[in-house]
Chains A and B, each alone.
Chain A
Amino acid sequence: MKGVWLVFKKEILEFTKDRKTMFFTLAVPIILYPLLFGMIGKMGQREDQQARSSQTRIALIDPSNVIESLIQARTNDFTLVPAPEDDEKARQAIKDDQLEMLVTLGASAAQDMAEQKTVAVDVLYNRVEKTGRVAMKRLEDALRELNNATVQDRLQKLGASSQLAAPTSIQSRQVGGEELLLAKLLGTMLPYMLMLMLFVGSMQLGIYVTAGERERGTLITLLATGLPRHEIIWGKLLYVFFMGIVNSVINIGAMTFSMGTLFGGREVSDGYAAVAAEEAAQLSGIAAVVDPTVITLTLLLMIPLGLLFSNLIVFLGVQAKNTQEAGTSMMPVVLLVLFLGVFSMAPGIEKMGILPYIPIVNVSLVIRKLFAQQASVMEYLTAFCMTVGLAVLLTYISTKFLNRESAIFKST
């Protein structure tokens, strides 16, 4: 078994001798993720700030002054602008970002109100824009206040209890906490990223030590030494496996770290409308992702999965006539991994009964559930054992296969 270690050492040494490869493998994720999330964070913040700082420009047609004074009182939220001449002009003005909403009340609104009728409030706004949604929330808040006051008033006149208007009242108690929302979202994305990184990250390195060695004419010098052939193969397997794990650890690390620092520190603003509060709550949920148990269990799963992938890479690498062919032959596998990843990300997929028994998909599924704190021990063990079994089987097959001389001396 000494040969396995020696070959592994040689591959690692060769890897470290090439600064460029090393940079792209190890340093890029460390730089990329903070940059990426930093940018997303900045963009989100700017949009928030824009929506928050600017008041909603509201055009109000309210001849009998039912809500005008109410709107005017909310100087933080609203600023009144002159109403466009007709509906068509108002539409255009909203599209052109000259105002956020047009609110119209009938001429008899005040009278209707006094007669205890329902007053229709017509609102024209753009739901697609965040500013539009914020405007609507603000208007709803304002009207709710008015409604409550009016109902209390009417009930009092009737001499009835104020509870008459509120047959039910919700007092919610959260089970998972709002932060789980994003953890769950992340749980669906992370296994996919991880699996892709595990494969793609070690693919090029795997090609370099297999098809590449043959292409450069060094493989034969390695085989001509006294090392047993299967130990050479295992040494290369160990290297590809190791680099895949290193890659995914670096990627998870960089991802969770940059998300943790960039979003975790963001304040949940209280004064701001519910739209932003909801988002902020989701973002602070990243903290749940940094749960060490979840991370450890996830990394543990990467071991058999990495073994499976490295076998596939080495097998295809030795199979190919040259590095180019090796790259081409691995494309379908990359696509398959991509597909399985996307597949297991699909909403509701976790309810399919056979999924826990489909290799690779079950790993992705379990990771997804781990992050949502829904994984069962049984499912975890099934995924783990199945992947281990498959990896061992593939190691056996590829060792057998690669031992054949036709796998080493390709006729060109």
Chain B
Amino acid sequence: MIHVVDIHKTFVVKDKKTRKKKTIDAVKGISFHVKPGEIYGLLGPNGAGKSTTLRMIAGLMEPQSGSITVFDHDAMTASEKVRRCIGFLSTDLGVYGRFTPRELLRIFGEFQGVDPKVAERRGMHMLERLDLTDFADVKMESFSSGQKQKVSIARALLHDPKAVLFDEPTTGLDVLTAKTVLDLLKIMKEEERAVIVSTHVMPMVEQMCDRVGIIFDGKLHGDAPPKEILSQYGVGTLDEVFFKLAADGGVA
């Protein structure tokens, strides 16, 4: 289980023009819960606070207040344990260009405490499923963004994590590859993992997520199955929910 209870996150940035410090309330009190075998969709426009929320769950950032527990580990006091049971995919598309996928997976297997043989087998299996076997021994510096994304996904799932956190996993992918990724997520769900996906691609959410939370300006608007959200707002598609939220200035 993943429990997120009333988390807040504020950033302090400097305005170059006025030379004054500015606080950005990126996340203003978000709560939700994700059960194993459930796919939770975090929807929201750019800058809504999706990535920040996911990073806090993954123990990479600390919320100013509120609490997060991942499979009974507190994200703040036991962030290493939390990270060990999370497969985290960030939006950065960062891969080590000097390594081949096989090398990368071996190294990250070691980092995650996975037996090298097991890591090799799982990694190769994952690459096969993502249709990347031919590139297993090619340096990643020449990879396309889709290929990089695939390697990153394999890396994130290498240690058999109980919770899967994917930040915009289909951005930059063609429809075929996107479908492969989504199918993989469904398998994660069948394997009883708790899955959180952030996105602003609505159709994907509608057909796949068990529950969605709509983040708008750092706050959660609605936390229910997609169908319920639609009827709640009295509209036909999730896009329209967005338009409505934007028109109301986030007051729903």
Contact B96 A224 (CB under 8 A): no
Known: A217-B90, A225-B108, A226-B80. A17 touches B99 (CB 8 A): yes
Q: Which residues of A contact B113 (CB under 8 A)?
A: 226
- Asked if B110 is at the interface of the complex by the 8 Å CB criterion, the answer is yes
The answer to whether B111 touches A6 (Cβ under 8 A) is yes
Question: CB distance B94 to A218 under 8 Å?
Answer: yes
Is B242 an interface position by the 8 A CB rule? Answer: no
Chain A residues in 8 Å Cβ range of B186:
none
Contacts of B84 in A (CB 8 A): 226
Are B94 and A225 within 8 A (Cβ)? no
B119 → chain A closest CB, angstroms: 12
Flag if B13 contacts A411 (CB, 8 Å). yes
B43 to chain A, nearest CB (A): 22
State in angstroms the CA–CA spacing of A222 and B112 once bound together: 10
Chain B 101-120, CB-CB to A under 8 Å as 1, else 0, gives: 00100011011110000000
User: Which of B11, B58, B93, B139 touches A224 (beta carbons < 8 Å)?
Assistant: B58
**Contact call A10/B107, Cβ cutoff below 8 A:** yes
Docked-complex contact B60 and A224, CB < 8 angstroms: yes
* Closest residue on chain A to residue B108 by CB atoms: A225
Given contacts A226-B80, A411-B11, contact A221 B152 (CB under 8 A): yes
> Nearest chain-B residue to A14 (Cβ)?
B98
- B99/A220 in contact, CB under 8 A: no
User: In the assembled complex, how far is the CB of residue B92 from the closest CB belonging to chain A, in whole angstroms?
Assistant: 3
Q: Residue A385 at the B interface, CB < 8 A? A: no
The smallest beta-carbon distance between B5 and chain A, in angstroms, is 20
Complex contact A221–B94 (CB within 8 A):
yes
Determine if B90 and A221 form an interchain contact, defined as CB atoms under 8 angstroms apart.
Answer: yes
In Å, the complex CA distance between A224 and B57 comes to 11
CA A411 – CA B159 in complex, angstroms?
30
**A13 at interface by CB-CB < 8 Å:** yes
Residue interface bits A12-50, CB-to-B below 8 A is 1, else 0: 011001100000000000000000000000000000000
Contact (A217, B94) CB under 8 Å given A224-B58, A224-B83: yes
Question: Which of B86, B108, B139: most chain A Cβ within 10 A?
Answer: B108
Q: Among the listed B60, B98, B159, which residue makes an inter-chain contact with A17, where contact means beta carbons less than 8 Å apart?
A: B98
Q: How far is the CB of A208 from chain B (nearest CB, A)?
A: 10
Asked if B112 contacts A225 (CB within 8 A), the reply is: yes
User: With A13-B103, A405-B61 in contact, is A227–B111 under 8 Å at CB?
Assistant: yes
Question: How far is A13 from B97 in the complex, measured between Cα atoms in Å?
Answer: 12
A side interface size, CB within 8 A: 25
Residue-wise, chain A 132-151 has the 8 Å CB interface mask toward B (1 for contact) of: 00000000000000000000
Please, which residue of chain B has its CB at the minimum distance from the CB of A16? B98
* B216 sits at the interface (CB 8 A): no
Q: Does B40 contact A (CB under 8 A)?
A: no
- Write out the residue numbers on chain A whose beta carbons fall within 8 Å of the beta carbon of B58: 224
Query: Any chain B CB within 8 A of the CB of A3?
Result: yes
A117 CB–B CB distance under 8 Å = no
A residues 364-409 touching B (CB-CB < 8 Å) = 405, 408-409
Q: Which of A6, A14, A17, A221 has the most CB of B within 10 A?
A: A221
Say yes or no: is B95 at the interface (Cβ < 8 Å to chain A).
Answer: yes
Residues of B within 8 A of A218 (CB): 92, 94-96
Q: Are the CB atoms of A228 and B80 closer together than 8 Å?
A: yes
Contact B83 A217 (CB under 8 A): no
* Complexed CA–CA distance, A225 and B83 (Å): 6
CB closest chain-A residue, reference B165: A224
Task: Give the distance in Å from the alpha carbon of A223 to the alpha carbon of B159 in the complex.
Answer: 15
Whether, in the assembled complex, A196 has its beta carbon less than 8 Å from a beta carbon of chain B, the answer is: no
> Nearest residue in A to B13 (C-beta to C-beta)?
A411
Closest to B92 in A: A217
Q: CB-CB contacts of B38-73 with A at 8 A, as 1s and 0s?
A: 000000000000000001001011100000000000
Of all chain A residues, the one with the shortest Cβ separation from B56 is A405
A216 within 8 A of B: yes
Q: Is B99 within 8 A of A14, CB to CB? A: yes
Tell me the chain B residues, 125-182 only, with Cβ under 8 Å from chain A.
Answer: 139, 152, 155, 159
- Chain B residues with Cβ below 8 Å from A10 are 107, 111
Whether B83 contacts A216 by the Cβ 8 Å rule is no
Establish whether residues A216 and B94, one from each chain, have CB atoms under 8 Å apart when the complex forms.
yes
Answer whether A223 and B60 are a contact pair too, CB < 8 Å, given A6-B110, A13-B103: yes
CA distance A45 to B155 in the complex (A): 62
Q: Are B111 and A226 in contact (CB under 8 A)?
A: yes
In the bound complex, do residue A13 and residue B107 qualify as a contact, i.e. CB atoms below 8 Å apart? Answer: yes
Closest chain A residue to B158 by CB distance? A225
Q: List 14 A-B contacts (CB under 8 A).
A: A14-B96, A14-B99, A17-B139, A217-B90, A219-B94, A220-B90, A221-B152, A223-B60, A226-B84, A226-B113, A227-B80, A405-B61, A408-B60, A409-B61
Beyond A7-B111, A221-B90, A222-B111, list 9 extra A-B contacts (CB 8 Å): A13-B103, A18-B98, A216-B94, A216-B97, A218-B96, A221-B92, A224-B90, A225-B112, A226-B80
Which positions in B face A, CB cutoff 8 Å? Answer: 11, 13, 55, 58, 60-62, 80-81, 83-84, 86, 88, 90, 92-99, 103, 107-108, 110-113, 139, 152, 155, 159
